[in-house]
Structure 1
Amino acid sequence: MTTNSAETDAPSADLHIHTTASDGLLTIDELPEVADKAGIDTVAVTDHDRIHPELATPVSTKGAVTIIRGIELRVSAGDQRLDLLGYAVRRTDSLIELTTSIQQNRKKRGAAMVDAVESYLDISLDIDIRKGLGRPDIARAIDESDAPYDYSDAFSEVIGSENPCYIQRDIPSFDTGAGVLADACSVIGLAHPFRYPDPAAALKRAEKLDAVERYYPYSGQNADRADPVVIEDVATNADLLLIGGSDAHNRTVGITGPPPADFEPFATRVS
C-alpha cells in the first residue's frame, strides 16, 4: 500500500466503502476505476454485517488498487447502537456464525419493512429481498416508485428510526461484537462518533478498540457538533489509530480519508 498525496491533507485511502454486497451501488469490479478517479490507491470494503463474498483474502489487489477486506458491524452499547469497523478480516468460525445470524435477521426485517412501506404508502416496491438488504435499498426503491418521496425524504419521513415504517433489528452486544472482531481482524475501530446520540459515551467505548474514525463527511446537525480535536485527544490518550472514509453508498469514493501521517500506521497493521 502506497500513499498518493500531493499535499499532506489529501486522503491516502478511503477506509469506509459499501458495495452491492450490502446497501451500496458499487461492485468490486468498479473499484479500480472509481479509486483512480478519486486519486487514491487503497480502499476498504466495509459492507454492513457481511464479508464481501468476492474478496478471497484480507488484503488483495485489483488493477492498481489495494482492497482491504473489512466489515461494518452494528452493536448494542446498552443506551445506544454503535457501528464497529473491522479491517483485514479473516473468516473465523465465530464471525461466520455471527454474520450468518445477523443476515438472516436483516433479510426478515427488510421484508417486514417493505411490507410496512407498501401498506403505508399504498404502493408496490421493486426490490429484491436478499442478503445484505438495508434501508438505503428501500429508500432507493421508494424514490423510484410513484410515492411522493425522494431518497432523502424516504429516510426523514418513512423509514427513519422515528418514522412509521421503521423496524428495529436484532444486533449483538458491544462486548460480543468487539470480541468476535478482535479474533478476526487486524484493526477494529469505532465508526463516525458524532452520528450517535451520545458521542462522549461512544468515544469512551472506542478506548477499548484499536482505532477511531477521525475523517468522515458529516452533514446537518452532526456536522455542526463534530469536533476532530475531541477525537484526536481520545486517540492520543488511548493510543488509537486515526482512520476514516467516505461511507460511500453510491459510486463516489475518496471524499475524505486519512492523510499519509495517519494512514501509514494503519497500513502497517493490516499489511
Structure 2
Amino acid sequence: MQRLSLVCAMNKSQALHSTNSPPPESFMLELHTHTTYSDGSLSPTELVEAAIAAGVTALAITDHDTLGGWTEAIAAAGDRLEIVPGIELSTLHNDRSLHLLGFWPDREVLEPLLQEQQAGRWRRAEAIATKLAELGAPIVLPELQEGQMPGRPHFAQALLDAGHVQSWDEAFRRFLGEQAPAYVPYEKLDVIEGIRWLRDAGAVVVWAHPFLWRGGRVEEALPLLVEAGLQGLEVIHPGHSPSDRRQLEEWCERYDLLPSGGSDYHGPGNGGGRHAEALNKQAVPTGWLEPLRNAAD
C-alpha cells in the first residue's frame, strides 16, 4: 500500500510538471467532449473523425448523464484513436449546478444508477416545453435515439426550426438561459452522492470546470469534495483564465489531485458561443492521461 501511494504521488507530480514547455506534438488530448447523445451537434462517429483530423490521440466521450455514445465512438475509432469512456454527471452543490467528469466507469454498475437521473432529464424537458408553449413559442423536439438525453441545445434548435428565433444566441437569451423565462433547473442530485456513484463504478472522478461553478468559492467547497472521494480537477478548460489554471494546479499539488483538461467541445458553432473552441486547441499534455488511467479502480 505504501509503494502504491508513492507511485500515485509520483504520477500526480509528473502529470502537473508535464506542462513545463512540452513539444507541440504532445498536446493531443481531449478529455471533455459531447455528442448528439447529450447536447453536442456531432454524432459520435462525426466527433471521432473530427478529432482524428485535428490530431487528437485520445478522446474522452463525456456526454451529460448518459453512456450512450461510447459504443458508436469506439467502433468508429478502431485502432486510429483511443476512446476514453466517460460521462459528465450533473450534480448540485449549494443549490447550483456542479458537474463531475467520470472516466472509465463500469457500465454495468453505473447505468442502473443513471436511470433516475435520465428520467429527471426527460421531466425537465417536458417542463421546458410547457413553459415555451405558455410563452407563445411552442416547439416539437426532434426524435432522439435510445440513450440520447434531451438538453437545452435541442430546444434551441427546435425554436430555430419553428421560426421563433433567428439564432441559438437568441434562443438562449430570450428563453433558455439561466435567467430566461423558460429555464428549468436540474433535478437535485447532491454532489457527494454523485461522487459516490462514480467511485462505486470504479471511475476516476474529476471536478469539471471548477471556476464556472456559481455556488460559492471553489476553495471552500474543495476540501468537502476531496473528503468525499474527488480525484482530480479540470485544470485546462476554455472558461479558465491563465491565473485560474495556475490556481487549480496549486490545488492539485496541495490536495494530491490529478490534473485533467479539454475543450468541452459541443460541435462547430454549437450553443452560440458556448464552448465553441475547436478541438485540440487547449494544449492538454498527453502526459496527463496515464496518471488518470492508473487511478481507475
Provide TM-score, normalisation by structure 1: 0.84
Match of 2:123 in 1: 108
Deviates more, 1:83-92 or 1:127-136: 127-136
How far is 1:60 from its partner? 10
Given that 1:46 and 1:72 are in contact with CA atoms closer than 8 Å, whether structure 2 keeps it comes out as: yes
AA of the residue aligned to 2:86: G
Match of 1:263 in 2: 289
How far is 1:243 from its partner? 0.3
How far is 1:61 from its partner? 5.2
Q: Count the aligned residue pairs.
A: 263
Q: Select which of 42, 47, 50 maps to 2:58.
A: 42
Structure 1 residues 22-52: Cα deviation after superposition (integer angstroms, max 9, x where no partner): 1112222224321122111110001101112
Q: Would the alpha carbon gap of residues 60 and 38 (structure 1) be closer, same or farther in structure 2, given more than 3 Å must change?
A: closer
Q: What percentage of aligned pairs have identical amino acids?
A: 29
Q: Select which of 125, 129, 134 maps to 2:151.
A: 134
Write out aligned runs for 1:129-168 (5 A). Answer: 131-168=148-185
Match of 2:80 in 1: 64
AA of the residue aligned to 1:194: F
Q: Which runs of 5 or more residues in structure 1 are unaligned?
A: none
SS in 2 for 1:16: coil
Query: Equivalents in 1 of 2:49, 2:72: separation in Å?
Result: 20
Given that 2:233 and 2:252 are in contact with CA atoms closer than 8 Å, whether structure 1 keeps it comes out as: yes
Query: Equivalents in 1 of 2:178, 2:286: separation in Å?
Result: 37
Query: Equivalents in 1 of 2:222, 2:283: separation in Å?
Result: 19
Aligned-residue CA RMSD in angstroms?
3.1
Query: Equivalents in 2 of 1:144, 1:257: separation in Å?
Result: 36
Q: Would the alpha carbon gap of residues 152 and 56 (structure 1) be closer, same or farther in structure 2, given more than 3 Å must change?
A: closer
Q: Which runs of 5 or more residues in structure 2 are unaligned?
A: 1-20, 269-277
Q: Would the alpha carbon gap of residues 75 and 188 (structure 1) be closer, same or farther in structure 2, given more than 3 Å must change?
A: same
Match of 1:249 in 2: 266
Query: Equivalents in 2 of 1:174, 1:28: separation in Å?
Result: 27
How far is 1:254 from its partner? 2.2
Provide runs of 4+ in structure 1 moved above 6 Å.
Answer: 56-60
Match of 1:210 in 2: 231
AA of the residue aligned to 1:207: V
How far is 1:54 from its partner? 4.6
Query: Equivalents in 2 of 1:132, 1:242: separation in Å?
Result: 28
Query: Equivalents in 2 of 1:267, 1:12: separation in Å?
Result: 16
Given that 2:61 and 2:70 are in contact with CA atoms closer than 8 Å, whether structure 1 keeps it comes out as: no
Provide TM-score, normalisation by structure 2: 0.78
How far is 1:71 from its partner? 0.6
Given that 1:58 and 1:89 are in contact with CA atoms closer than 8 Å, whether structure 2 keeps it comes out as: no
Match of 1:196 in 2: 213
Q: Does 1:185 align with 2:202?
A: yes
Deviates more, 1:203-212 or 1:172-181: 203-212
